[in-house]
Amino acid sequence: QLLLQNGADANQVDAYQWTAFHMAAAKGSEPLIKLLLENGVNVNAVDNDGGSPLFWAAVFGQKSAGHLLLENGAKADEMNDWYLLSRRTPLTQRPWDEHEILERLLLGEQADVEAADNEGRTKLHQMVIRGNEAAVRVLIAVGANVAATDKKGETAVEAAVLRGYEHIVRLLLDNGAEVDAPCRSCSDTTLHTASRNGDERMVRLLVERGADLRACGPDLKTPLHLAAENDHTSIVRLLGKSVEIVNRTCTEGTALHIAFQRGHEPTIRQLLDLGADPCIPSRGRTALCLAIGLKNLTATQLMLERGADVNAKDGWGSYPGVYLARQGWGALHLATSQDSKAMVELLLAHGADIMMRDHHEATALHYAAECGFETAARILLECGADINAQARYWNLLLVPLGRPADQDRRPAVISLFLHKDANVKATALLHGARVCERSEEALTPLHLAAGIGDEGMVRLLLDNGAAIDAADTAGRTPFAYATKNSHVSVTRLLLERGAAP
């Protein structure tokens, strides 16, 4: 006061362009604020960072000082350069932007209700995100647009649902917010968001308010698909109001398919209880084959108990552990290709057709032979599989017999077949794609074993009666195949056994 009385300038600034008024506002010193106001201070002076006294009062939580500044002409919407990137004004600073101050600012028409930050969020968005219900009420009372969206297309009600603010969601819906307004950037509705998040209370509220259970977001997913995807069993129960909803398909299939893909057994059980159809295919893929492909024995048994068709053909045909994509597989084909003894036995116990053929006329036993799975092959043979069954173009579709991963397994399977009286002159079970290119060439297993240089296999076949000089359609013998591919040890063995050079 003494300085002012002796001619000091109330608007004098320091190196940061702060006036005494900035300091008084930041400290909340009301006597000093009043004294400076009486001496003509610029109430909206800005510092180097663009901060006004009101801004700094807001930053430091000086609520009473904020009242005083507003009463004396401080501009609530004065921009601040320091926060220019986020475009936050004193109205949006914490902690004094609550009901009392908001009411003064808004009802006194000193602030733009629809002012937005750089993300397009209005004051209503900002207060919703903070969970400030009192502020939301004031903003709605003065006409804030409840349907306004930010730059991502998110509405205030979507922001409230995302954060689980049930009371604010009720308030917004009561004042005209659309319950099914989709987010512009992702097409999700509020019910999608609540279902994905597992917010059961929010889902109940939205369903009570008429949210569309059939609304489709990205990939045609309904809220039920998202609940199943995230194993929210209680929400699946809430949303599964009808069999039609439960069995709706998206790009990943039904909710049941999705639950299987994620391994969510509680949700799988819930969906089946709600009427999910285990026989509905998705892109040719049955839920049963999906369960088998995931090696989920418990889920597979559950599906069979709930009526899944054990002999339904699956058109998907590409699973982990399978060398080439197959089409028209039955469940038994798939289980056999995985060498799952328990799965094979389970399917056979439920009536799986042991002689079912895929689109290439191959049976499950063909795949046991291809993969070298002795256990699966033995089970199939004991249950009546035809060891001499022929498959159409089988030689074109199998991986080479010389595949390194199969070297240790193959002899045991071949021995099993031979002891079961397999026809060693047959051209189907033991063919390999890289050895012959047309089934019409009539190669025998001995041709193939000689061609890839598998001495042990050649010896095994000869010991079991393979015709050593059998000729293919071009007149080539196993000896010719061995010599052509420079397999010296096999060539020597064939000569020792009497092969014609």
Report the CATH number that the domain containing residue 17 is assigned in CATH: 1.25.40.20
Q: Is residue 66 part of a domain?
A: yes
Residue for token pair 């399978």 = 322
442 closest CA partner among 471, 484, 408? 471
pLDDT of residue 199: 97
**Beta bridge pairs of residue 149:** 155
Q: Are residues 310 and 420 in the same domain?
A: yes
According to DSSP, residue 278 is labeled T
Q: Are residues 284 and 303 in the same domain?
A: yes
Q: Are residues 394 and 485 in the same domain?
A: no
According to DSSP, residue 220 is labeled G
Alpha-helix runs per DSSP H in 240-363: 243-246, 255-262, 265-273, 287-293, 297-305, 331-337, 341-349
pLDDT of residue 494: 94
| Residue 253 DSSP SS3 | strand
Residue 153: which residues within 8 A CB-CB, separation 6 or more?
Answer: 182, 183, 184, 185, 186
When divided into structural domains, the chain yields a total of 3
Query: Considering 414, 431, 448, which residue would you say is the last residue of a domain?
Result: 431
pLDDT of residue 486: 92
Q: Is residue 75 part of a domain?
A: yes
Q: Are residues 454 and 344 in the same domain?
A: no
Q: Are residues 398 and 337 in the same domain?
A: yes
Q: Are residues 354 and 443 in the same domain?
A: no
Q: Are residues 320 and 385 in the same domain?
A: yes
Say how many C-beta atoms besides its own lie within 10 A of residue 359's C-beta.
14
Alpha-helix runs per DSSP H in 338-373: 341-349, 364-371
| Ramachandran region, residue 154 (left: φ > 0; alpha: ψ -120 to 50; beta: rest) | beta
The rounded distance, in Å, linking the Cα atoms of 293 and 306 is 18
**Cβ atoms of residues 82 and 114 within 8 Å:** no
pLDDT of residue 84: 34
Q: Are residues 480 and 411 in the same domain?
A: no
Q: Is residue 125 part of a domain?
A: no
**Beta bridge pairs of residue 314:** 329
Q: What one-letter code names the amino acid at 328?
A: G
Q: Is residue 262 part of a domain?
A: no
Q: Is residue 18 part of a domain?
A: yes
Q: Is residue 169 part of a domain?
A: no
**pLDDT tens track of the chain, all 501 residues?**
667 776 788 888 888 889 999 999 989 999 999 999 988 899 999 888 778 888 788 777 787 888 898 888 887 655 443 333 333 444 444 444 444 544 544 444 455 778 788 899 988 998 899 888 877 888 888 789 999 999 988 999 999 999 999 999 999 999 999 999 887 667 789 999 999 999 999 999 999 999 999 999 888 999 999 999 999 999 999 999 899 999 999 999 999 999 988 889 899 999 999 999 988 887 777 888 888 888 889 889 988 998 889 998 876 544 433 333 456 788 999 899 888 899 999 999 999 999 998 887 888 888 887 777 888 888 998 898 887 777 765 532 233 344 444 555 666 666 666 555 555 444 433 433 333 333 345 677 788 788 878 888 788 778 878 889 988 888 899 999 999 989 999 999 999 999 998
pLDDT of residue 408: 59
pLDDT of residue 324: 37
Domain housing 492: 435-500
Q: Is residue 459 part of a domain?
A: yes
Query: Considering 388, 404, 431, which residue would you say is the last residue of a domain?
Result: 431
The rounded distance, in Å, linking the Cα atoms of 325 and 491 is 35
Q: Are residues 419 and 290 in the same domain?
A: yes
The rounded distance, in Å, linking the Cα atoms of 415 and 418 is 5
**Cβ atoms of residues 419 and 413 within 8 Å:** no
pLDDT of residue 95: 43
37 closest CA partner among 9, 10, 5? 10
Q: Are residues 382 and 460 in the same domain?
A: no
12 closest CA partner among 3, 55, 74? 3
| Ramachandran region, residue 263 (left: φ > 0; alpha: ψ -120 to 50; beta: rest) | left
Query: Considering 382, 405, 431, which residue would you say is the last residue of a domain?
Result: 431
The rounded distance, in Å, linking the Cα atoms of 5 and 255 is 79
**Cβ atoms of residues 69 and 29 within 8 Å:** no
**Beta bridge pairs of residue 329:** 314
Q: Are residues 470 and 362 in the same domain?
A: no
Q: Is residue 234 part of a domain?
A: no
Rounded to two decimals, the pTM is 0.64
pLDDT of residue 32: 93
Q: Are residues 425 and 449 in the same domain?
A: no
